[in-house]
Copies of this chain bind each other. A is one copy, B any other.
Amino acid sequence: MSERRVTMADVAREAGVSPTTASFALSGRTDMRISDASRERVLEAARQLGYRPNVTARSLRTKSTQTIGFVSDRITTTPFAGDVIRGAMEAARERDNLLFITEAGGDRAAESSLVHALLDRQVDAVIYATMFTRYVTPPKELFGRRVVLLNCLAPGFDAPSVIPDELEAGRDAARALLAAGHTQGIWAIGGHQAVPATPEGIIAGNERMRGLEEVLREGGARLDGVIECDWDTLDGYREVSALLAAGTRPRALVCLADRVSFGAYQALAEAGLSVPEDVSVISFDDQDIASVLRPALTTLKLPHYQLGRLAVELILRGGPLDPIVHRVPMPLRERSSLGAPAGN
């Protein structure tokens, strides 16, 4: 694209040395002796001419493009996951790397084709990411390659995974509930989300529930009930409405996702119940909506930014990528939806 760039040959000519000398001077390598005077002249010429190395040309020889590929199912589309990309991007930037972002939309063929497009461009590594935490089998083109799995697990596939610590988040939700004094009338809305159609629950739902029940039990409390439903606003609204209509009067709702909480808020409002005076709500995810809901939602944040950042950091650390599962903490965002239990 337009006007010829200054090349190393230009710099060498300007400095009156050979391209070899220019190369060594510019890369700062010391295994070839260059006099201070020559080095200075090269550096000065480079500055003068505004020389910038052609990364593409260099990579032909060095095999390193300072470029990472990012393939996901539909991560850019999901409202909150832009943070994953931002985390990855910023970590990459700090080490002069750039990201190719791609999205396969869940289509295996598209996925393979994208991975090929990435490999054709000689990316140094590939991040294979999913929108929801789940098990995956990466495309075969990725076998034997430098890969980090982001937000997913692939047993038997030789690559590290970076996922949110859902188990500990479940425990933290229980701890927050107990700390506020809740021991009874606690309902979980959304449940394990073991619905095949929405695979997110396979990991997130199970672990959140497990951690929750574990700590509740240890604290001498327990769940009055678990309502299994899809993790969306409509289901949250419907299920909580039904629960209230059936005469149940919960004191605390653990919504397995913010979308569910939003539906629950609508159902509670319609029933004339206020949060947190009548019913406390604690949730998971910390989507944008959580902070603008009234009252603002207390929730365990999915650490998207950190997830993206760590994935890139593992790659840029250099050395082999050990197939370890890295669990990133989900911080509790304490806002206003969790209060003391309503008096009897």
Which of A79, A101, A288 has the largest count of B CB atoms less than 10 A from its CB? A101
Q: How many copies does the complex hold?
A: 2
The answer, yes or no, to whether A195 is at the interface (CB within 8 Å) is: no
The answer, yes or no, to whether A167 is at the interface (CB within 8 Å) is: no
Instruction: Look across to chain B and name the residue whose beta carbon is closest to the beta carbon of A100.
Output: B98
Instruction: Look across to chain B and name the residue whose beta carbon is closest to the beta carbon of A3.
Output: B144
Bound: A79/B123 CA distance, A = 28
Taking a contact as CB atoms under 8 Å apart, the answer to whether B116 and A52 are in contact is: yes
The answer, yes or no, to whether A13 is at the interface (CB within 8 Å) is: no
A89-B102, A98-B100, A292-B233 as given contacts; A121 in contact with B79, CB under 8 Å: no
The answer, yes or no, to whether A60 is at the interface (CB within 8 Å) is: yes
Residues of A within 8 A of B (CB): 1-3, 52-57, 59-60, 63, 65, 67, 76-83, 85-86, 89, 93, 96, 98-103, 110, 114, 116-125, 144-146, 233-234, 237, 259, 262-263, 266, 269, 288-289, 292, 294
Instruction: Look across to chain B and name the residue whose beta carbon is closest to the beta carbon of A56.
Output: B122
* Nearest CB of B to A258, in Å: 11
Bound: A220/B8 CA distance, A = 69
* Nearest CB of B to A328, in Å: 19
Taking a contact as CB atoms under 8 Å apart, the answer to whether B98 and A99 are in contact is: no
Taking a contact as CB atoms under 8 Å apart, the answer to whether B120 and A1 are in contact is: no
Bound: A263/B59 CA distance, A = 52
